[in-house]
Structure 1
Amino acid sequence: MFDFAPTHLLIFALVAIVFIGPKDLPRVMRVVGQWVGKGRAMARHFRSAMDEMIREAELAEMEQKWKAENERIMREHADLISGTTAPAEALPAPAARPAVAAEAGEAPHPVEPPLEPAAPVRQPPEA
């Protein structure tokens, strides 16, 4: 849309020199630069506001999905929450537990004695 080729810029410069004059050209270029800067700032502000609105909309959508998923999980596991137990056939099979040393016929591991203090503890003199 705003595609400027180097030849277009050269034509604009020549027209500006002819109609504005070389004396006022720096002042006009400064004003044009300020306008361009204000336009870019407005575009940047608009873009950041739009990005913020999109982010808020995405967060709201994610919160709705999380709420729906939470409600689904709560419905599925209502028996666990209410304190009632499910029928035995509905419960998963227990995992095989590892054999304890005593059941396996091995001697239990000895318990290590507590560590002694490094320096003897002084007793206060009796009066």
Structure 2
Amino acid sequence: MFDIGATELLMIVIVAVLVIGPKDMPLAFRTAGRWVGKMRKLSAHFRTGLDAMVREAELDDMEKKWKAQNEKIMREHPDGAPPEMEPTGAYPPRQLTAEQKARLEGLSPEERIAAKEAVAAEAKSAAHAPAPQPVDAPETAPELPLDPPAKDS
């Protein structure tokens, strides 16, 4: 930044020792260190403010793009989402197995409805059930040699 070389730095130190004196040098260094620290804090604060402004500008640009995209979609589909994308909250119809069909054959219409609801509830609970746990490893782990192999000499 300032491009101060070793010779210039040595010249500054010699002048500082002659002007300030060796007795007051530690105090001068402490004061200079405090000023440098304050300048660093100020520059970091300034940089943080600039970064926040840039981030806000980027968010505004993205929001404008999203609004434009949303308006385009709304123009293409004025009636709302296509029927296949409408949320219904229900699960798609499930195919019954042969065993389930055999159980339903001898039931009355009310019993069939109740049985189908039970099958749907079972499918729903199975969808939200926790994943099965892996089978435990055998209790005895394979033994590994602890000593390094012997070297043949």
TM range (shorter): 0.5 to 0.7
Per the alignment, residue 80 of structure 2 pairs with 81
Question: Deviations along 1:35-70, whole A, 9 cap, x unmatched?
Answer: 000000000000001100110111011001100110
TM-score after normalising by structure 2: 0.53
Per the alignment, residue 91 of structure 1 pairs with none
Per the alignment, residue 100 of structure 1 pairs with none
Between the two structures, name the one with larger relative contact order (CA 8 Å, sep ≥ 6). 2
Per the alignment, residue 2 of structure 1 pairs with 2
Q: Structure 1: which 5+ runs fail to align?
A: 84-107, 115-127
Question: Deviations along 1:64-98, whole A, 9 cap, x unmatched?
Answer: 110011001100111x3299xxxxxxxxxxxxxxx
Kindly state the Cα deviation for residue 11 of structure 1 after the two structures are TM-superposed: 1.2
- Which structure is higher in helix share? 2
Q: Structure 2: which 5+ runs fail to align?
A: 83-95, 104-153
TM-score after normalising by structure 1: 0.63
Q: What is the 5 A alignment of 1:3-42?
A: 3-42=3-42
Question: Deviations along 1:84-113, whole A, 9 cap, x unmatched?
Answer: xxxxxxxxxxxxxxxxxxxxxxxx952269
Aligned length: 90
> Cα RMSD between the aligned structures?
2.7
